[in-house]
Amino acid sequence: MSADKLTLSPEVSAALAAGTAVVALESTIITHGMAYPVNAGTAREVEAEVRAAGAVPATIAILDGHLHVGLEPEQLDALARNTSAAKASRRDMALLVSQGRTAGTTVAATMLIAARAGIPIFATGGIGGVHRGAELTFDVSADLIELSRSPVAVVCAGAKSILDLPKTLEVLETYGVPVLGYQTDEFPAFFSRDSGLRVDGRLDSAHAAADLIRSHRKLGMTGGMLICNPLPAVDEVPAAEMGPRIEAALAEAAAKGVHGKDVTPFLLARLVDLTGGRSLTANRKLIRNNARLAAEIALALSGETMPGPFGFLAKSRPA
Ligand code: PSU
Ligand code: MN
């Protein structure tokens, strides 16, 4: 797969050609993370946040078997209404393309496609990680290994404590993925600013993040990194409120025998119900917060040509 196998929107195509700041956005959150019409509204808000900061949003999805980078408003709305869209991680892509299907892309698949398009920055809410009980189930999200493979900096609010956060950080360390805190020394736990776990390093500005990304490239690193942006304190949901609801959602998943790629969407949907929508409100806010930071980092990086791993992947990767 090379960049010319991608379907770039005219806006994204022009921005990439001009070296303008572009922020990649995922779409599993649209197809499997939220229900219509909240998913469509959130996706539009996130794109608006990127534009307001002066960058171009590139929402990534698989539509009728084509890898799209940048969606028109009608395409975004149709995806949000599509209740039969698949969930695409790396391993699903060839099957979905060969069958002409439509899918939301996970963090893993979005990173892979963003890298091939030459987009080095990507904003999401939370990443997948090591599930609780993974020592028995082996349920470790493909997002983690993709972070070691695709040269994209992912801005997120950490990971939800539906996951085992210490094990998630261990696996990221094993895979050689830098984990940075934006204006924090702690790994954020999505709904809360702190998890009690430390990040590898702290970045206090978008320029510091851009400098780190440049150093990563200069060293010839071929993988990505995680930039963790805690949600604003006013938007936090207290851990005491989330804890029992997370336990309830996990118990339901176990009782129903939910497994494989259905686990994360099941837990996310149950949490929205169990918190009476409170988790959804926090989710919307933190994604916008991440989109803004990603746009600021993209701007700090833009104007550069893209040598190193990004340019190489976009221009000369064989099909
Ligand atoms: N975690 C969240 N919200 C999400 C996801 C994870 O808090 O929307 C989505 C992302 O698209 C992520 C995917 O890449 O779920 C991970 O799925 P899995 O655990 O099956 O790898
Ligand atoms: Mn899994």
Is the CB of residue 123 less than 8 Å from the CB of residue 25? Answer: yes
Q: How many Å separate Cα 146 from the centre of its chain?
A: 11
What does the alpha-carbon distance between residue 243 and residue 130 come to, in Å, rounded to a whole number?
Answer: 18
Q: Is 107 in the pocket of ligand 1 (CB under 6 A)?
A: yes
Residue 246 buriedness (CB in 10 A; 0-12 / 13-18 / 19+): buried
Peptide bond into 37 cis (omega under 30): yes
Among 106, 192, 284, the mutation site with the greatest number of ligand 1 atoms within 8 A of its Cβ is 106
Is the CB of residue 251 less than 8 Å from the CB of residue 162? Answer: no
Average pLDDT, the chain: 93
Instruction: Kindly state the tokens that stand for 151.
Output: 């040269």
Instruction: Kindly state the tokens that stand for 12.
Output: 């994204």
Is the CB of residue 217 less than 8 Å from the CB of residue 309? Answer: yes
Q: Which among 16, 79, 23, 94 has a CA at the least distance from the CA of 305?
A: 16
What does the alpha-carbon distance between residue 213 and residue 301 come to, in Å, rounded to a whole number?
Answer: 8
206-265 tens-digit pLDDT: 999 999 999 999 999 999 999 999 999 999 998 888 999 999 999 999 999 999 999 999
Peptide bond into 151 cis (omega under 30): no
Least confident residue range of 128-137, 269-278, 282-291, 303-312: 303-312
Q: Is 31 in the pocket of ligand 1 (CB under 6 A)?
A: no
Task: Return the CATH fold of 3-316.
Answer: Indigoidine synthase fold (3.40.1790)
Helix (H, G, I), strand (E, B) or coil at 132: coil
Among 39, 62, 132, 143, the mutation site with the greatest number of ligand 1 atoms within 8 A of its Cβ is 143
- Which residue owns the Cα nearest ligand 1 atom 17? 128
Can you give the length of the chain in residues? 319
Q: Is 33 in the pocket of ligand 1 (CB under 6 A)?
A: yes
DSSP for residue 101:
-
- Is 160 an active-site residue? yes
Is the CB of residue 309 less than 8 Å from the CB of residue 221? Answer: yes
Q: How many Å separate Cα 248 from the centre of its chain?
A: 25
In the set 87, 160, 261, 285, the catalytic residue is 160
Q: Is 271 in the pocket of ligand 1 (CB under 6 A)?
A: no
Q: Is 126 in the pocket of ligand 1 (CB under 6 A)?
A: yes
What does the alpha-carbon distance between residue 82 and residue 102 come to, in Å, rounded to a whole number?
Answer: 9
pLDDT at 307 over 50: no
Q: Which among 128, 105, 141 has a CA at the least distance from the CA of 24?
A: 105
- Which residue owns the Cα nearest ligand 1 atom 20? 261
Instruction: Kindly state the tokens that stand for 266.
Output: 């099941």
The mean pLDDT of 163-179, rounded to a whole number, is: 98
- Cα of 121 vs centre of ligand 2, distance in Å, is 24
Task: Please tell me the pTM assigned to this model.
Answer: 0.94
Helix (H, G, I), strand (E, B) or coil at 70: coil
Is the CB of residue 65 less than 8 Å from the CB of residue 96? Answer: yes
Q: Is 160 in the pocket of ligand 1 (CB under 6 A)?
A: yes
8-32 tens-digit pLDDT: 999 999 999 999 999 999 999 999 9
147-170 tens-digit pLDDT: 999 999 999 999 998 999 999 999
What does the alpha-carbon distance between residue 70 and residue 63 come to, in Å, rounded to a whole number?
Answer: 11
pLDDT value at residue 4? 61
**Any bridge partners for residue 23, and if so which?**
57
- Which residue owns the Cα nearest ligand 1 atom 7? 126
From the CA atom positions of the chain, what is the Rg in Å?
18
- Is 26 an active-site residue? yes
- Cα of 25 vs centre of ligand 1, distance in Å, is 13
Cite the beta strand spans of 130-237 per DSSP E: 153-156, 179-182, 201-203, 225-228
